Amino acid sequence: MSIETPRDQLVIPAPQDAIRIVPLYVADEVVAAVPEVAAPPPTVLTYRGGPLLTAVQVFTLFWGSAWQAGQAQLAGQLNTFFDFVLTSPLIDQLKEYDRPPLSIGHGSRIGTATILAPRLRHSASDAAVRHMLQQEIATNPALPQPTPNTLYFVYLPPGVSVSQGGGRSCLTFCGYHDTINGQIFYAVMPFPGCAGCLGGLSVFEALTSTSSHELCEAITDPVPGTGWSDDVHGEIGDICAWKTKQIGAYTVQLEWSNAASSCI
């Protein structure tokens, strides 16, 4: 699983089994004294033999009644974002991570649903997300059955945090992706209700940035640690966290390129 960390906190590198997050935003002017240590090894993503999402099929789930009320417009904007980005140059640049016979191509958004039950209060655990997702797949005809390319994006409403791996959104991360038994691929995107998960962006821009981070990681490393990863620096998005660019009308995150040896 990959987790994206908020950027207003100084982040201590996590052990390899915890490199699963969108990290917190760290303001450029924040400088911390650190002891001298040996330079880390060069960043190189290596392929571990696992699956890739070669033609990703994104299904968005908006959990909570807020997505039918005050955040309905934002939900529509996020769906439109996926309609664009899944056939954009962001996906094209992932071609360098083809591993014959696996070839990464354009994807599509295959649907959306608003989920009202179970009712959310102030927090949800990753276990609760998994339970909801499995229940919806089993009982809700609006949801597609999982395939080797299906990726469920779960968006949480304002005021609801998510906990995972001993951490909590807006304190230690801004989003993550994982798998259930190597068969159901999903990403969890908490609402960016803190400076660390906004990174100086608007709510919508922050969500498109963190969503693109998790999208590219889920495509190239859907079963975390078995696809493309770096033992020290993490997945394709971790290495470039909170470095952004514009593609069309949208803010997306830069992603690591082995070919360019940089974030592009």
Q: Where are the domains of the chain?
A: 47-263
Query: Residue 89 above 50 pLDDT?
Result: yes
> Minimal CA–CA distance to 155: which of 104, 206, 201?
206
For 184, the 3-state DSSP assignment is: strand
Confidence band of 28 (pLDDT split at 50, 70, 90): low
> Minimal CA–CA distance to 227: which of 67, 47, 71, 105?
47
Return phi, psi of residue 183, to 5°. -125, -30
Angle between helices 203-220 and 72-85 (to 10 degrees): 40
Q: DSSP character for 64?
A: S
User: 252 pairs with which residues across the strands?
Assistant: 245
Q: What pLDDT was estimated at residue 32? A: 46
Query: Residue 30 above 60 pLDDT?
Result: no
Say how far apart CA 229 and CA 173 lie, in whole Å: 19
Q: What pLDDT was estimated at residue 18? A: 42
Whole-prediction pTM value?
A: 0.91
Residue % of the chain over a pLDDT of 90? 84
Q: Alpha-carbon torsion 33, 34, 35, 41, what sign?
A: negative
- What CATH number was assigned to the domain covering residues 47-263? 3.40.390
| Range 44-53 average pLDDT | 98
Q: Mean of the per-residue pLDDT values for the chain?
A: 91
Say how far apart CA 205 and CA 164 lie, in whole Å: 24
